[in-house]
Structure 1
């Protein structure tokens, strides 16, 4: 039997799945790693812990297959925007800084509203924001000059893993398109962006296509993982781009809707979507397909914040949420006038302001803990509605959203978001979308898949949510849209 393995390097854990050539999942496993916040705005991880987690789940995936010679491909997905500075010996000079790291907020503020900043956003597809490796590298140059001078390469967590496994520095264009340093049309490093960051292209990895094959495993890892020496390693892509293909959101009128730690709406498109207000990103799936959309910082991470802030003596977040989430059904849509601006961790789309603040508005004595939780869930939905409207304002037609991420475990949240977005939402019964998307990229590398529409034949039945009335949310959404400017005006 032919097998595919996918490795997904996420923000909180690394996941592995094993599938057949018909995308039937035979095995899955994950291993976590912590994040550290030594100062406000810092969000760091240990590259060695990520490497260890990836090797662990890859080893278990390989061990689940008795006839390893039938492994057709191993491919990779990873979270975007991470950065590690490494020396000539390949060892990290910094920790891994995740997409949530905002220490370069002052750099982003300097660049964002300049003509050069706007031009680089349009050329690279990546908004000027502290998440961007462009801003992170510029910050290192200014604040850590000794590290900057000693750096051989600035790389992502995925590049670090692949360099350890194969000895080469390469990055696929899907990952590179989220750095703020790649020209998304010419698919080459952008000289103006490089100059703004203070580097030359020699400080970055060589560019590769997502379907390109990597060199063979270094002998030490081949032996440790008990993999055939000639097993095929495929670059894969970013978790965002692969979530679309993995969920089956590949046709005109379809979009991927993700709410995990953060959230996003993305579409596959044959050209970049140029928004005059710079609300959207334009990343890449591959050399032929763009990935326009918008991501929000505050998704499922707000549930952990909510519990820590509003509750004491909780033994299990999951158990508490399992008890509390169903209670929002009893709260009317619109949370009886309670509105939440969810910018607790700053915000990306549509405002791209890492210093933005959240707020509750309309607090009354009648509001219970369940009201506050429902307002949080609705606030996330309102943020995603702004992303949806930004896409539609620019001529992108969206009729159906394919949902993924942890929020699909909550029927209550799914229905709230469906009602707010006023679109049909389908929940795929296949495996984790980004992991499955990596499997599909491995299949594409081998010619099993040609056009991306062909992934539809691998999709399982979907659970479908239909929107109810938006009327209960109308006034709240109008107020929500005015709140960001009020937080700027008041200085909060």
Structure 2
């Protein structure tokens, strides 16, 4: 009898799959690395078939190779992916171009202004519950209409990464409401449904909406042949990767805040009320009736990876990070006067500035590689604090913060963030991330688990408490961090424009 739960997550630089029991026991995992295309400054793309669907097939084949498990053992599956993305499909459901990625793709800056001029920024904010930003899909649709009219003329549907994979598995066009929340100005935050109030797009081009734990469809015979799954296997609607991360660590009750240390940083605060904020994102939750307040930084793990390849290109990734974190730990709090703005791909929340760029201030000849790496970790921590303060300005109650993602493997980084923010972080037992949350969603759609079972699946194992002794240092540094952005913004915008030209 089929009892196992399959979860697959497609990330920015790799895809992960897990096979779990209904009790949450991990039986097998598999990772498929892949690349990210950056064809122009400010652009970020991936191939829907060559990366996303390829990785799903590879993961299924690896996990279900018959030693000892096969597709017949899988009771249900769910998929999450990077997002929100723009994927245009032709009438046959084939992608017309590489997927345009989430907020790290900042090509549609001009289109944001055009939409605000056309419809009114206040009206968009009122209906969508948030402002347009590089995270929004509407401006990227307008960019395609303006810059790729021939391809747009052939576009029959628009979708996102997780929904495209679910379509390949089931033949059903469906999108979770959390991801749909970013399809401004096509989503009404009040009704949590598509809206044609702006006349921006034929709503027939959009997927039907569902909640993450609902049934999207079942595996088709064609998908079964490619993946090794059993035809007829239930597939959940799924989620964007960050939402599955939150589910994976049990951040599912009002007041729970998930802090994801990934290629980017992402925050999801679970709530029940519509609470718009101009610097944050108001989005639907995973389950019926839930609303989330979300936020995201553009470069966190991507910045540490860039430093790793730049500073220690000759050694393995594992050895390089071990050395960098060891050297950073030997540097005192405040990095001996070195301050870094981590806006290497623009910034999402709370400044919402796609033209922001990295700034390194305070360098002198005594600074070392360890100083530079610690300044990067502190800069990311200061950005996290900036977002948490925006949550507090909203009056949103944060009952607990749960950390997840690849960055949680570094105790030093977690400690720096808690020291800077002054808040403890709970570290869950299982930190594998979104694919584990997807396995849980599979259990929900297959009827094998209940929502509150995630607390049993993945209880907290450790608390990272702040060190009050360094708080005065970081309080001062935070003021300087905010001032450094304000005082360099115009110059940096000019430099960003010069790089684009």
Contact 1:356 1:487 in 2 (8 A): no
Task: Specify the SS of the correspondent of 1:85.
Answer: strand
Cα distance in structure 1, aligned partners of 2:126 and 2:207: 22
Pick closer, same or farther for the CA change 1:113–1:151 going to 2, 3 Å.
closer
CA distance in 1, matches of 2:11, 2:313: 29
Write the distance in 1 (CA, Å) between the matches of 2:300 and 2:88. 29
Structure 1 stretches of 5 or more lacking a match? none
* Residues 466/232 of structure 1: CA separation in 2 closer, same or farther (3 Å cut): same
Give yes or no for the alignment of 1:92 onto 2:91. Answer: no
Question: Using a 3 Å threshold, how does the CA distance of structure 1 residues 318 and 108 change in structure 2: closer, same or farther?
Answer: farther
Cα distance in 2 for partners of 1:337, 1:114 equals: 46
Is 1:28 aligned to residue 29 of structure 2?
Answer: yes
What per-residue deviation string (whole Å, max 9, x for no partner) do you get for residues 145-166 of structure 1? Answer: 1111110111112222222222
TM-score (structure 1 length as normaliser): 0.93
Shift of 1:448: 4.6
- Residues 158-206 of structure 1: CA deviation (Å, up to 9, x unaligned): 222222222222222222123223223312112245x3xx421111112
Name the structure 1 match of 2:183: 179
Structure 1 position 346, deviation (Å):
0.2
Aligned ranges 1:310-459 → 2 under 5 Å: 311=311, 313-450=313-450, 452-459=451-458
Asked if the contact 1:25–1:431 (Cα under 8 Å) also holds between the matched residues in 2, the reply is no
* Alpha-carbon distance between aligned partners in 1 of 2:313 and 2:208, rounded to the nearest angstrom: 50
Give the Cα–Cα distance (whole angstroms) in 2 for the partners of residues 29 and 409 of structure 1: 18
Q: Is the 8 A contact 1:141 1:148 kept in 2?
A: yes
Q: Is the 8 A contact 1:112 1:129 kept in 2?
A: no
Contact kept? 1:293, 1:387, Cα under 8 Å: no
Q: Indicate the residue corresponding to 1:468 in structure 2.
A: 467
Aligned to 1:4: 5
Q: Does 1:188 align with 2:178?
A: no
3-state secondary structure, aligned to 2:179: helix
Report the alpha carbon displacement of residue 112 of structure 1 after superposing the two structures with TM: 5.4
SS at match of 1:423: coil
The within-5 A match list for 1:224-263 is 224-263=226-265
CA separation of 1:264 and 1:256: change in aligned 2, threshold 3 A: same
Q: 1:288 to 1:449 in 2, by over 3 A?
A: farther
**Following the alignment from structure 1 to structure 2, what is the Cα–Cα distance between the partners of residues 335 and 406?**
23
For residues 453 and 386 of structure 1, do their structure 2 counterparts lie closer, same or farther at Cα, with a shift above 3 Å needed?
A: farther
Maintained 8 Å contact 1:11/1:98: no
SS in 2 for 1:18: strand
Deviation at 1:349, TM superposition (A): 0.3
* Pick aligned residue for 1:83 from 83, 86, 99: 86
Alpha-carbon offset, residue 335 of structure 1: 1.0
Cα distance, 1:70 vs structure 2: 4.6
Gap runs ≥5 in structure 2? 496-501
Q: CA, structure 1 residues 215+454, in 2 after alignment: closer, same or farther (shift >3 Å)?
A: closer
Is 1:155 the equivalent of 2:159? yes
CA RMSD of aligned residues (A): 2.2
SS in 2 for 1:267: strand
Separation (CA, whole Å) in 2 of partners of 1:253 and 1:206: 29
Q: Following the alignment from structure 2 to structure 1, what is the Cα–Cα distance between the partners of residues 63 and 18?
A: 7
Which residue is 2:171 aligned to? 167
Relative to structure 2, which stretch is displaced further, 279-288 or 406-415? Answer: 279-288
Q: Quick one: structure 1 residues 252 and 48, their matched pair in 2 at CA, closer, same or farther if it must change by over 3 Å?
A: closer
Give the secondary-structure state (helix, strand or coil) at the position aligned to 1:39: coil
Distance 1:192 1:319, change over 3 A: farther
**Counterpart of 2:135?**
131
Q: What residue in structure 1 maps to residue 498 of structure 2?
A: none
Q: Distance in 2 between matches of 1:409 and 1:159?
A: 30
Per-residue deviation at 1:407? 1.0
